[in-house]
Amino acid sequence: MKLGFIGLGRMGFNMVLNLKDHKIQVVAYNRSPEPVKEIKKHGVEVAYSIEELMGKLPKQKIVWIMVTAGKPVDAVIDEVMPYLNANDIVIDGGNSFYKDSIRRYNKLKNKKIHFLDIGTSGGLSGARHGACLTIGGDKKIFKRIESTCKAVSAKNGYAYIGPTGSGHFVKMVHNGVEYAWLQSLGEGFEILARGPYKNLDFRKIAKVWKNGSVIQSRMMEWAEDAFSKDPKLSKIEGVVGGGETGQWTLTTAKEFNINADSIKLALAARKKSRKHPAFAGKVVAALRNEFGGHEVVRKR
Give catalytic residue positions: 171, 178
In whole angstroms, what is the distance from residue 149 CA to residue 130 CA?
10
Amino acid code (one letter) for 144: R
φ, ψ for residue 235 (rounded to 5)?
A: -90, -5
AA identity, residue 37: K
**In Å, how far are 222, 235, 278, 282 from 189, measured between CA atoms?**
14, 16, 11, 10
CA distances to 15, 155, 185 from 165, in Å: 21, 24, 30
> How far is it, in rounded angstroms, from Cα 112 to Cα 189?
52
Mapping DSSP to helix (H, G, I), strand (E, B) and coil, where does residue 199 land? coil
What is each CA distance from 99 to 96, 102, 195, 244, in whole angstroms?
A: 8, 5, 45, 14
Cα–Cα nearest to 220, from 229, 208, 232, 236: 208
Are 4 and 57 contacting, i.e. CB atoms less than 8 angstroms apart? Answer: yes
